[in-house]
Amino acid sequence: MWHARLRIGACLSLSGKYAQFGRPALRGLEAWCSLDGTADLLAEDDRSDRRALEAVLPGVAARCDLLLGPYSTQLMLWTGSARARQDCPARAASP
């Protein structure tokens, strides 16, 4: 029986103000994907900045089945608002 791989997308702060939280989140997601073996991870650096997140979020969201939200409350609020404006179902969860 064939099973489709789950595509997980995450915009994480791998640099900037929240990098101390984003980098460990990325390592945890990478470890989980390697142990689980049924998921692929697509992660982009939002640079702890709303404008950078605005640039990378649409591409990540378009290429994944499950979109994880950023670490920062401010970035998460913006993400939720942006996804709602695009009339997308709420599928975001902060790592």
Domains of the chain: 6-85 (3.40.50.2300)
Please say whether the beta carbons of 67 and 60 come within 8 A.
Answer: yes
User: Whole-structure pTM over 0.85, yes or no?
Assistant: no
Q: What is the pLDDT of residues 11-45, one digit of tens each?
A: 999 999 999 999 999 999 999 999 978 999 999 99
pLDDT tens digits, residue range 36-66?
789 999 999 999 999 999 899 999 999 999 9
Give, for 8, the enclosing helix (H) or strand (E): strand 6-12
Helix (H) or strand (E) holding 75: helix 73-85
